[in-house]
C-alpha cells in the first residue's frame, strides 16, 4: 500500500478502489448559486480566473488536458515539465492554470498563452503561468474519487512537491459570506464552496457551488458587425446561448478588444462566414455578418435585461475549452 494511504482513516481506506490510471476522465463541475453561505462541513476556495486543467502523470512524463480533452501542453510546456520532474508517481490531478495581472488572476492575460500553439513561442511569451492544484483523482493504481474531499486534499498535499510553477489551492473552513466580501473587494472572480465530505463525480454537482462577484459566462459567437472608423477586424461580436435546442441571441459585444485580438479573431470569423444567421431570433443589427457557431467567448456584463439581452457586455477572451453546444444561460439555483 502507498505510504500516503496508511495515513487515511480505516473508513476512508475502504473507499479506495484499485484501478489502472485512466487515459481520460471528465472533471467535476460546480453549480452556480445566488446566495453565499457559511455551512458546517463545507470549505471555501478562491475561484481562479484561468483555464481548467487535468494532469495525467506517470514515470514517462505528464500530459495536460482541458475540460474538453484538448492538449494544453502546447500552451504551457513548462507546467508539463514541472510535473514530469516529480518522483514519477502515477497520478491524475485536477486544478486551474492561471496568469496574474498584479495580485489578481487574469483570464485576459492568460489569452496570450491560450492563443499560442507553438510551445517555444508560448514559453517566451513573457506571460508567466502557474498550475493551482485542488484535487487528486488517482494515485499509484488506486481510484481516489470515492474518498471524502478532505481526505483527497491530504493525499494531494503529500503526493506533489509544491514549488513554482505548481501551487496548492488553499481554502477556508468557515465564514463563506465574509470570505466572499473580501474576495470581491480584492477583485477576485468569486469563490467555490465544496462539501468536504463529498466524493468526486464526473459531472456538474451541487456538492461544489460557485459564488460569483460579478456576472460573466461563456457565449457562442454567431456573427459580427463591420468595423467603424480606424478600427480593424470587426466592430462587435453577436453572441448567444442555447435554449430549447436553439441558439438565442443575447446581444452584441463591442468592447474589450485590443488591435491584435481584433485582427486575429476577425480573420477567424471571416473563414467561418455563412449567409444565414445561426440565431433562432434573427438580430436586427446594422452591418451584420453571420458565422458558423463554432467559437465560444467569455463575456463579463453588469446584468441581464428583461428581454434576455446583456447590459454593458465586455469581451474577456476566447474559450477553446468549451463546446459551443454546451453553452446555455447560467441561472443561479
pLDDT one-digit tens code per residue, 9-27:
999 999 999 999 999 999 9
Three cell numbers at 149?
Answer: 474531499
Residue 4 has pLDDT above 90, yes or no: yes
Q: Specify if 94 maps to a domain.
A: yes
Helix (H, G, I), strand (E, B) or coil at 100: strand
Quick check: is 126 in a domain? yes
d(CA 117, CA 73): 9
Please give the C-alpha separations between residue 282 and each of 1, 243, 255, 293, in angstroms, as whole numbers.
61, 15, 22, 14
Please name the residues in contact with 84: beta carbons below 8 A apart, sequence gap of 6 or more.
57, 61, 62
**Contact by Cβ (8 Å): 195, 176:** no
The domain that contains 150 carries what CATH number? Answer: 3.30.470.30
Q: Do 250 and 288 belong to one domain?
A: yes
| 53 and 164 together in one domain | yes
Q: Work out the pLDDT band at 89, boundaries 50, 70, 90.
A: confident
Residue 4 belongs to a domain: no
94-103, 125-134, 136-145, 302-311 — which is least confidently predicted?
302-311
**Same domain, residue pair 137 and 187:** no
pLDDT at residue 325 above 90? yes
In this prediction, residue 239 carries a pLDDT of 98
Q: Is 118 a domain residue?
A: yes
Question: Same structural domain for residues 55 and 41?
Answer: no
Is 11 a domain residue? Answer: no
309 and 209 within one domain = no
pLDDT at 170: 96
Residue 333 predicted with pLDDT over 80: no
Q: Residue 280 pLDDT > 80, yes or no?
A: yes
Please tell me whether residues 208 and 130 are part of one structural domain. no
Catalytic residue flag (residue 121)? no
Q: How many alpha carbons lie under 13 Å from residue 327 in its C-beta half-sphere?
A: 28
Q: What is the CATH number of the domain that holds 268?
A: 2.40.50.140
CA separation for the pair 209, 34 (Å, rounded): 10
In terms of DSSP bridges, do strands 29-32 and 310-311 run parallel, antiparallel, or are they unpaired? Answer: unpaired
Q: Kindly indicate the confidence band of residue 291, based on its pLDDT and cuts at 50, 70 and 90.
A: very high
Active-site option among 47, 153, 252, 322: 47
- CATH code for the domain of 182: 3.30.1490.70
- Give the residue-averaged pLDDT of 154-171: 97
Contact by Cβ (8 Å): 293, 276 = no
Beta-strand (E) ranges in 4-72? 17-18, 29-32, 42-46, 51-58, 61-65
Distance CA 59, CA 53 (A): 20
**Overall number of domains in the chain:** 3
Give the domain extent around 309: 215-326
Report the distance separating Cα 110 and Cα 153, nearest Å. 26
Last residue of a domain, one of 168, 192, 225: 168
Q: What is the pLDDT of residues 176-218, one digit of tens each?
A: 999 999 999 998 999 999 999 999 999 999 999 999 998 899 9
Mean pLDDT of 77-98: 93
Q: Quote the cell numbers at residue 58.
A: 506517470
Mean pLDDT (whole number) for 133-159: 97
Amino acid at each position: 500500500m502507498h505510504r500516503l494511504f496508511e495515513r487515511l482513516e480505516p473508513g476512508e481506506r475502504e473507499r479506495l478502489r484499485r484501478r489502472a490510471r485512466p487515459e481520460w476522465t471528465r472533471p467535476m463541475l460546480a453549480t452556480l448559486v445566488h446566495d453565499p453561505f457559511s455551512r458546517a462541513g463545507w470549505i471555501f476556495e478562491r475561484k481562479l480566473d484561468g483555464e481548467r486543467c487535468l494532469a495525467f502523470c506517470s514515470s514517462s512524463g505528464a500530459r495536460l488536458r482541458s475540460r474538453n480533452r484538448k492538449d494544453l501542453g502546447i500552451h504551457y510546456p513548462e507546467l508539463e515539465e514541472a510535473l514530469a520532474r516529480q518522483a514519477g508517481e502515477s497520478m491524475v490531478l485536477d486544478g486551474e492554470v492561471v496568469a496574474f495581472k498584479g495580485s489578481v488572476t487574469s483570464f485576459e492575460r492568460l489569452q496570450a498563452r491560450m492563443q499560442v500553439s507553438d510551445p517555444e513561442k508560448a514559453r517566451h511569451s513573457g506571460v508567466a503561468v502557474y498550475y493551482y492544484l485542488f484535487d487528486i483523482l488517482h494515485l499509484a493504481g488506486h481510484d481516489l474519487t470515492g474518498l471524502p474531499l478532505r481526505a483527497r486534499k491530504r493525499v494531494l498535499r503529500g503526493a506533489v512537491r509544491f514549488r513554482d510553477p505548481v501551487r496548492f489551492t488553499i481554502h477556508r473552513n468557515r465564514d463563506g459570506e465574509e470570505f466572499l466580501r473580501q474576495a470581491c473587494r480584492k477583485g477576485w472572480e468569486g469563490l467555490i464552496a465544496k462539501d468536504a465530505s463529498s466524493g468526486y463525480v464526473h459531472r456538474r454537482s451541487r456538492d461544489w457551488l460557485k459564488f460569483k462577484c460579478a456576472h460573466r459566462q461563456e457565449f457562442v459567437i454567431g456573427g459580427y458587425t463591420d468595423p467603424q472608423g480606424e478600427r480593424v477586424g470587426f466592430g462587435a461580436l453577436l453572441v448567444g446561448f442555447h435554449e430549447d435546442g436553439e441558439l438565442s441571441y443575447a446581444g452584441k459585444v463591442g468592447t474589450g478588444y485590443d488591435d491584435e485580438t481584433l485582427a486575429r479573431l476577425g480573420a477567424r470569423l471571416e473563414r467561418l462566414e455563412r449567409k444565414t444567421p445561426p440565431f433562432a431570433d434573427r438580430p436586427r443589427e446594422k452591418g451584420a455578418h453571420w458565422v458558423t457557431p463554432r467559437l465560444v467567448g467569455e463575456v463579463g456584463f453588469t446584468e441581464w435585461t428583461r428581454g434576455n439581452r446583456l447590459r454593458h457586455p465586455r469581451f474577456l477572451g476566447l474559450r477553446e475549452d468549451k463546446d459551443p453546444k454546451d453553452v446555455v444561460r447560467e441561472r443561479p439555483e
